[in-house]
Amino acid sequence: MSMLICLVGSMVLPAQSAGERPNIVFIMTDDHAAHAISAYGSKVNKTPHIDKLASEGIRLDRCFVTNSICTPSRAAILTGKYSHKNGVPVFNRFDGGQQTVAKLLQAGGYHTGIFGKWHLGSDPTGFDRWKILPGQGAYYDPTFYTSSENKKETGYCTDLITDFSLDFINNRPLDKPFFLMCHHKAPHRNWQPRADKKAKWATIKVPLPATFDDDFTGKADAAREATMRVADHLTPGDVKEKPPEGLSGQDLKV
């Protein structure tokens, strides 16, 4: 999971005017290592827009992750609390009655919104506007939930979330600063690129990490149980290749 926080100005007291307080855009991408971003050393894919933010702003190199799993990490970001304190150690339902960064900013006069992947089980609280994916959501023509309706949208998930976020910015109350959480589903597995991007990597060989086939022989049981690997359960859809003919159902499952 990766995060970008874009600020205009510096944080000041709520009593000051909207023009003196920064607008805050929090961008989250999902389920990838830091080195998937070229500003953090990727030798395969390039992320020029993120790299520009890193070069013109601040790149943080010594971050501490309270819980690297999807749902607990989201709860920790919202609350600023460890998982055993916010009630979401794994995939638990988030208690929206807790204090969150959105509620604090909303109470301080901010117009707040979240769009995209939520994945916390309960409805968002502390947001003036929200439009979220149910669970993991779909990449193509996804359904989005709001406080009043569930609606299937036409398009690719990343584009739709971006468009919803831009609409929030462009149609906000101008007498208030805003806080936007733009939560992308991508590039979370299962990996489904936009139709016009499917052939982009067809001729590019992505090197496997040295530990890809590690069977954890001689290592602690805790390391094996952590399951921080994907080699054991890749599917034909993951690798974008058809399996050889003649394999049994069990072979395909393995």
Comparison of pLDDT for 252 and 78, the residue scoring more = 78
Task: pLDDT band for 252, please (50, 70, 90 cuts).
Answer: low
Of 89, 59, 61, the residue nearest 74 (C-alpha): 89
Beta-carbon contacts of 60 under 8 Å, excluding residues fewer than 6 positions away, are: none
Q: Which domains does the chain have, with CATH numbers?
A: 2-31+64-192 (3.40.720.10), 208-254 (no CATH)
Strands (E), 78-149: 111-117, 129-133, 143-145
The predicted structure's pLDDT at residue 193: 92
Establish whether 184 is a catalytic residue.
no
Query: Whole-angstrom Cα distance, residue 209 to residue 33?
Result: 12
Q: Which two tokens stand for residue 248?
A: 């049994």
The predicted structure's pLDDT at residue 64: 83
pLDDT of 14 over the 80 cut: no
The model's pLDDT over 16-39, given as tens digits with 9 standing for 90+, comes to: 566 689 999 999 999 888 889 999
pLDDT of 253 over the 70 cut: no
Contact 113, 127 (CB under 8 A): yes
- Rounded to whole angstroms, what are the CA distances from 252 to 212, 238, 239? 19, 13, 13
72-87: average pLDDT: 95
The model's pLDDT over 189-218, given as tens digits with 9 standing for 90+, comes to: 888 999 999 888 888 888 888 888 888 888
150-171: average pLDDT: 98
Per annotation, catalytic residue among 6, 63, 84, 119 = 119
pLDDT of 109 over the 90 cut: yes
Identify the helix (H) or strand (E) that includes residue 215: none
Establish whether 84 is a catalytic residue.
no
Q: Which two tokens stand for residue 147?
A: 């406080």
Counting Cβ atoms within 10 Å, is residue 66 exposed (0-12), middle (13-18) or buried (19+)? middle
Comparison of pLDDT for 97 and 61, the residue scoring more = 97
Q: Could you report how far apart the first and last alpha carbons of the chain are, in Å?
A: 27
Task: pLDDT band for 235, please (50, 70, 90 cuts).
Answer: confident
Counting Cβ atoms within 10 Å, is residue 151 exposed (0-12), middle (13-18) or buried (19+)? exposed
Average per-residue pLDDT for the chain: 87
Comparison of pLDDT for 108 and 207, the residue scoring more = 108
pLDDT of 10 over the 60 cut: no
Residue 230 bridge partners (DSSP) = none
- Reduce the DSSP state of residue 237 to 3 states and report it: helix
The model's pLDDT over 111-138, given as tens digits with 9 standing for 90+, comes to: 999 999 999 999 999 999 999 999 999 9
Of 144, 170, 168, the residue nearest 155 (C-alpha): 144
Residue 151 bridge partners (DSSP) = 144
The predicted structure's pLDDT at residue 51: 95
Q: Which pTM does this prediction carry?
A: 0.86
Other C-beta atoms within 10 Å of 185: how many? Answer: 23
Identify the helix (H) or strand (E) that includes residue 106: helix 101-107
Identify the helix (H) or strand (E) that includes residue 147: none
